[in-house]
Amino acid sequence: MNRSVSVIGGGLAGLSSAVFLAEKGYKVTLIEVSPKFGGRVYSFFDKASGLHIDNGQHILASWYHNTFDYLKVIGTYHKLSFQNQLEVMFADVSGVQYSLKASKLPPPLHLAGGIMGYKALGLSDKLSIVKLVNKIKKGKYSESDLNKMNTDKLFELSSQTEKAINYFWKPFIIAVFNAEPENTSANMFCDIIRLGFIEKGGSELVLPKGYLSDIFVKPAIEYLDSKKSKVLTSSKISRIEFKDNSVSGLILEDNSIIKTDFYISAVPFFNFKNLFLSRDFASYFGDLKELTSSPIVNIHLKFDKDIAGVLPNDFAGMLSTISQWVFKVTDYQVCVVISSAAAVAEKTKEEIAKLAESELKMCFPCLKGFNVTSARVLKEMRATFVPDKASLNSRPGTKTSVSNLLLAGDWTDTGLPATIEGAVKSGKTAANEILKLN
Ligand SMILES: Cc1cc2nc3c(=O)[nH]c(=O)nc-3n(C[C@H](O)[C@H](O)[C@H](O)COP(=O)(O)OP(=O)(O)OC[C@H]3O[C@@H](n4cnc5c(N)ncnc54)[C@H](O)[C@@H]3O)c2cc1C
């Protein structure tokens, strides 16, 4: 007989574990508290502004292999657009544009070639970057030293210049980790440098060709339906119940019970503790330390005229501004992204929209004759966890001391920052652990 699994939480981690287990013939029940699946990845039509909106512009990289596997199973892998080689356009506040384009050499020389041609930096800045990547490649920093420091310290030790930090490292770190160098573990930073810049085929950026829900979420639910899985929305798990050191069932808010052979928690860290009676939490997860959250703010702007030929690329970085990236969504619509946005998130939405518009027009003066006809600002206050050195000790593994309870979620110990890839990888790892248990 097919064995059964309950998955708590219908974000990408939960969807990924549900999809990979349904693929292997498991009877899956997926339970989501909100009225929609997708968690932090969702799209909607905003009546007030008349804009179709993704809650946050999501960008992927060519090392997102678990994500690609997931999309292949649900049939939307073809809806990704891959760069042939890493290429990013930046513009600064005086409207000067700089291109960072990797060369065709094998990694990491491709990056060295790109950095050498990146005119925002002088020779000493470029050399400091290349030397650091080379040292990481050669394993010159020990794991135990890296575990003790954040990335600002690594930059100090490796004599990174101020320009190298502000015009190269910071845009990269804030985009990947949603944190400043002083809040980013040096160990995790080095791991991402290896994945993205040193290993072959890791550095190209990948953009979804369409809205997030249509690529990552709805097709997953259709796939689960086709496998006769049970998918429940607006259903809150209020407690995990234990008997004889195993999970005996999930209690819903209306006191009904779901009983299966295995259980996966795929809720965010800030909801995890609430799944347990304090007595059970203390006995199974008592030494788990709290993570902290970092916000991302997205500003969706619609213009009165066609911007297609005006912005140089599908996306561009902005230098020396509070706004960091701009993405072309349609010929009339852009999304401006501010990550690591704790200070900005305190401003009103009107102030934030004005700030983004004025910085955009400084970096791209060609937009000056264009008027914003509607704006929508989204503040995701708990977008990701802060990946500092302390976080390394606050991420639980997939397996727990309870044999039929597994953990997933971008905050679990995936070795990656909070990303789509981290979430999907965690779900796949939990699914694989259940396959091994059978
Ligand atoms: C604005 C923004 C921009 C981002 N940009 C990028 C990017 O460019 N690239 C990238 O790779 N990543 C990006 N991320 C990160 C990425 O979206 C997340 O890491 C990932 O979606 C997290 O998935 P998850 O399943 O772990 O958690 P979640 O998506 O939070 O899912 C957890 C689910 O559990 C549910 N839940 C909680 N409690 C219960 C309960 N008691 N019962 C039932 N259900 C429950 C929640 O409602 C939620 O749906 C971004 C995130 C945000 C917010």
Express each pLDDT in 277-329 by its tens digit: 999 999 999 989 989 999 999 999 999 999 988 887 899 999 999 999 999 99
Give the end of a domain, one of 342, 357, 385.
385
Same domain, 157 and 273: no
Express each pLDDT in 135-174 by its tens digit: 999 999 999 999 999 999 999 999 999 999 999 999 999 9
Q: What is d(CA 202, CA 11) in angstroms, rounded to the nearest whole number?
A: 25
**Predicted pLDDT at 56:** 87
Q: Is the CB of 12 under 6 A from ligand 1?
A: yes
In a domain, 136, yes or no: yes
In a domain, 94, yes or no: no
Same domain, 359 and 254: no
Region 31-53: mean pLDDT is 95
Q: What is d(CA 53, CA 43) in angstroms, rounded to the nearest whole number?
A: 5
Q: Tokens 């980013």 label which residue?
A: 184
With 90 as the cut, is the pLDDT of residue 30 above it? yes
Q: What is d(CA 58, CA 327) in angstroms, rounded to the nearest whole number?
A: 10
Same domain, 132 and 213: no
| Higher local confidence (pLDDT), 196 or 261 | 261
Q: Categorize the per-residue pLDDT at 1 as very low, low, confident or very high, splitting at 50, 70 and 90.
A: low
Which of the listed residues 419, 421, 428 should we mutate to test ligand 1's pocket, taking the one with most ligand atoms within 8 A of CB?
419
Domain count, the chain: 3
Spacing, Cα 237 to ligand 1 middle (Å): 17
Same domain, 130 and 279: no
> Which of 205, 422, 239, 227 is CA-nearest to residue 327?
205
Which of the listed residues 258, 267, 398 should we mutate to test ligand 1's pocket, taking the one with most ligand atoms within 8 A of CB?
267
Q: Is the CB of 33 under 6 A from ligand 1?
A: yes
Same domain, 314 and 351: yes
Contact status, residue 61 vs residue 205, Cβ threshold 8 Å: yes
Same domain, 163 and 269: no
Q: Is the CB of 58 under 6 A from ligand 1?
A: yes
Question: Is 39 exposed, middle or buried, given 0-12, 13-18 or 19+ CB atoms closer than 10 A?
Answer: buried
With 80 as the cut, is the pLDDT of residue 435 above it? yes
Which atom of ligand 1 lies closest to the CA of 421? 11
Spacing, Cα 7 to ligand 1 middle (Å): 15
Contact status, residue 390 vs residue 188, Cβ threshold 8 Å: no
CA separation (Å) from 154 to 96, 136, 165, 229, 326?
Answer: 30, 11, 11, 48, 29
What is the rounded average pLDDT for all residues in the chain?
95
**Predicted pLDDT at 203:** 87
Secondary structure, 3-state, 326-344: EEECCCCEEEEEECCCCCH
Q: Is the CB of 59 under 6 A from ligand 1?
A: yes
User: Domain containing 278 — which CATH number?
Assistant: 3.50.50.60
In a domain, 90, yes or no: no
Same domain, 432 and 411: yes
Predicted TM-score (pTM) of the model is 0.97
94: Cα within 13 Å, side-chain hemisphere: 3
Q: What is d(CA 349, CA 218) in angstroms, rounded to the nearest whole number?
A: 30
Q: What is d(CA 51, CA 29) in angstroms, rounded to the nearest whole number?
A: 34
User: Domain containing 346 — which CATH number?
Assistant: 3.90.660.20
Region 390-405: mean pLDDT is 95
In a domain, 354, yes or no: yes
Give the end of a domain, one of 178, 202, 226.
202
Spacing, Cα 309 to ligand 1 middle (Å): 34
Region 99-120: mean pLDDT is 90
Which of the listed residues 15, 19, 34, 41 should we mutate to test ligand 1's pocket, taking the one with most ligand atoms within 8 A of CB?
41
In a domain, 138, yes or no: yes
Residues spanned by the domain of 145 = 103-202
Which of the listed residues 20, 420, 428 should we mutate to test ligand 1's pocket, taking the one with most ligand atoms within 8 A of CB?
420
Spacing, Cα 347 to ligand 1 middle (Å): 24
Which atom of ligand 1 lies closest to the CA of 37? 49
Task: Please state which of the ranges 35-44, 46-55, 63-72 shows the lowest mean pLDDT.
Answer: 46-55
Same domain, 125 and 165: yes
Q: Which two tokens stand for residue 139?
A: 């394993």
Q: Is the CB of 205 under 6 A from ligand 1?
A: no
In a domain, 178, yes or no: yes
Same domain, 187 and 245: no
With 70 as the cut, is the pLDDT of residue 222 above it? yes
Same domain, 344 and 433: no
In a domain, 63, yes or no: no
Closest C-alpha to ligand 1, atom 35: 9
Give the end of a domain, one of 202, 227, 257.
202
Spacing, Cα 40 to ligand 1 middle (Å): 3
Express each pLDDT in 231-289 by its tens digit: 999 999 999 999 999 999 999 999 999 999 999 999 999 999 999 999 999 999 998 99
Percentage of the residues of the chain whose pLDDT score is greater than 70? 100
Q: Is the CB of 258 under 6 A from ligand 1?
A: no
In a domain, 72, yes or no: no
**Predicted pLDDT at 109:** 86
Q: Is the CB of 79 under 6 A from ligand 1?
A: no
| Higher local confidence (pLDDT), 39 or 56 | 39
Q: What is d(CA 71, CA 78) in angstroms, rounded to the nearest whole number?
A: 8
**Predicted pLDDT at 310:** 85
Spacing, Cα 265 to ligand 1 middle (Å): 13
Sign, Cα dihedral of 304, 305, 310, 315: positive
Same domain, 283 and 401: yes
Same domain, 300 and 366: yes
**Predicted pLDDT at 312:** 77
